[in-house]
Amino acid sequence: MRKIYVCKLKPGMILAKSVYGPNGQLWLRAGVTLTSQYISSLLRSKINFVYVLDPFLSDAQNEEIVSDQARLQANKLVKNVLTNIKQGKQGPIVDNNFLKVVNRLVEEVLDNKDVMYNLADILSTDEYTFNHSVNVCILSLLIASNLRYTRSRLQDIAVGALLHDLGKTKIDKRILMKEGCLTNEEFAIIKMHPVLGADILSCRQRDLADDSLKIVLQHHERCDGSGYPHQLLHHQINESARLVMIVDVYDALTSDRPYRAALQPHQVLSLLKYSGNHAYDPVFLQTFFEHVPAYPVGTALRLSNGDIGLVVKNKVGKTFSPTVRVYWAEGKEPYKNEFEIDLAVEQSIFVEEVLSEEKKEELFPLYPKNE
Ligand SMILES: [Fe+2]
């Protein structure tokens, strides 16, 4: 399947993933052929992108870490919790229903912990905070389960990750959604959200696990003391918070925000890998790298020998070395028969460039140009 911005949809394309509305209601089912009417209603909605079938990748690896249902359930839960806090409702936050959702996520991730993380897991709604919290939860669970954490610790991490930004409910939306640069004062206000979130939880959820609370309070600390709110150093930061901080940065940078476009996974991984400082825990970074592909399935690549193709497979531990299905020689002549190169095996060939969306559409059109 291929992620495509709604403004680029054309009638005849087939949805590869169902589209859900803001409350998790089904809008369009996977498999439906898009008509101009459907496209107009998608354009009117606040949905940025959808997934459509890609004839070049119909047989490509497409493993999900959690089901759409579990993701939707979690998304709805976070939305309810944050809305209730915003409205000043009192009472415990992590109730039985919350734990039910958490347990389902933990079970599903444990079942799929050998799968590479796939950005295509993102839901097609623009509700950033809710999606972001669920993404951070799922990827944190994936890393933690590969570190063989106990089930109860996984649950505590999931609770903390789902709630990590709850302090933002106390911050003016105009500052959170501002398109330009933040003033120093505005940034100082945003920096209060970890403490605000931890305060809310300490008041309303006295039995909360230390890991969960520390994730909320410390997810913006950095191991070299450059973070906030308390400029803690590596050994002073809770272990689970050291894990979640990496995932939080990754998901934030790979998402479109009002003030900047999303970076691509390989750009963010390079930032994390070559940042040259000691902001992040090296052990967690290593496990993170093993499970997050630099070039997700469907990425169009130019290789060092000039060949051009699409990523069809990623393997655990081979973050920067996908299997590429090659279609074009030197980007000019199409090969008669496409073939695959596993860059983890063919070590003399490496990725030269990630092609732009425009170039990809030109070389790998979803539909013939004259249609
Ligand atoms: Fe945050």
**What's the CATH number where 225 sits?**
1.10.3210.10
Give the domain extent around 10: 2-52
Residue 131: pLDDT over 90: no
Calculate how far, in angstroms, residue 216's C-alpha sits from the geometric centre of ligand 1: 8
The mean pLDDT of 80-101, rounded to a whole number, is: 91
Calculate how far, in angstroms, residue 43's C-alpha sits from the geometric centre of ligand 1: 30
Calculate how far, in angstroms, residue 132's C-alpha sits from the geometric centre of ligand 1: 10
Calculate how far, in angstroms, residue 257's C-alpha sits from the geometric centre of ligand 1: 14
Calculate how far, in angstroms, residue 336's C-alpha sits from the geometric centre of ligand 1: 50
92 located within any domain: yes
249 and 325 share one domain: no
Calculate how far, in angstroms, residue 219's C-alpha sits from the geometric centre of ligand 1: 7
Calculate how far, in angstroms, residue 190's C-alpha sits from the geometric centre of ligand 1: 9
Which among 268, 291, 314 is the end of a domain? 291
143 and 244 share one domain: yes
Calculate how far, in angstroms, residue 195's C-alpha sits from the geometric centre of ligand 1: 10
Task: Name the DSSP letter for residue 134.
Answer: H
The mean pLDDT of 193-220, rounded to a whole number, is: 95
Residue 33: pLDDT over 80: yes
47 located within any domain: yes
Calculate how far, in angstroms, residue 169's C-alpha sits from the geometric centre of ligand 1: 11
Calculate how far, in angstroms, residue 220's C-alpha sits from the geometric centre of ligand 1: 6
Which among 291, 319, 337 is the end of a domain? 291
223 located within any domain: yes
Calculate how far, in angstroms, residue 61's C-alpha sits from the geometric centre of ligand 1: 32
Name the pLDDT band for 61 (thresholds 50, 70, 90).
low
Calculate how far, in angstroms, residue 345's C-alpha sits from the geometric centre of ligand 1: 39
Calculate how far, in angstroms, residue 177's C-alpha sits from the geometric centre of ligand 1: 14
Calculate how far, in angstroms, residue 268's C-alpha sits from the geometric centre of ligand 1: 17
Place of tokens 């944190």: 140
171 and 123 share one domain: yes
122 located within any domain: yes
Cα–Cα distance measured from residue 212 to residue 238, given in angstroms and rounded to the nearest whole number: 10
Kindly state the helix (H) or strand (E) to which residue 52 belongs, with its residue range. strand 49-52
pLDDT in tens, 326-344: 999 876 788 889 999 999 9
> What is the number of other CB atoms lying within 10 angstroms of the CB of residue 290?
15
118 and 205 share one domain: yes
306 and 259 share one domain: no
234 and 178 share one domain: yes
282 and 311 share one domain: no
121 and 214 share one domain: yes
306 and 166 share one domain: no
pLDDT in tens, 133-170: 999 999 999 999 999 999 999 999 999 999 999 999 99
90 located within any domain: yes
233 located within any domain: yes
Calculate how far, in angstroms, residue 214's C-alpha sits from the geometric centre of ligand 1: 12
Which of 13-17, 63-67, 157-161, 273-277 is predicted with the least confidence, judged by mean pLDDT? 273-277
72 and 220 share one domain: yes
Calculate how far, in angstroms, residue 192's C-alpha sits from the geometric centre of ligand 1: 10
185 located within any domain: yes
Calculate how far, in angstroms, residue 245's C-alpha sits from the geometric centre of ligand 1: 9
- How much is the pTM? 0.90
Q: For the chain, how many structural domains are there in total?
A: 3
**What's the CATH number where 7 sits?**
3.90.105.10
Calculate how far, in angstroms, residue 80's C-alpha sits from the geometric centre of ligand 1: 18
pLDDT at 276 (0 to 100)? 64
Scanning the chain, the segments in alpha helix (DSSP H) are: 36-44, 68-86, 96-111, 128-146, 151-163, 173-176, 184-190, 193-204, 210-218, 239-253, 265-273, 282-291, 357-363
285 and 315 share one domain: no
| 87 SS3 class | coil
8 located within any domain: yes
359 and 211 share one domain: no
Calculate how far, in angstroms, residue 248's C-alpha sits from the geometric centre of ligand 1: 7
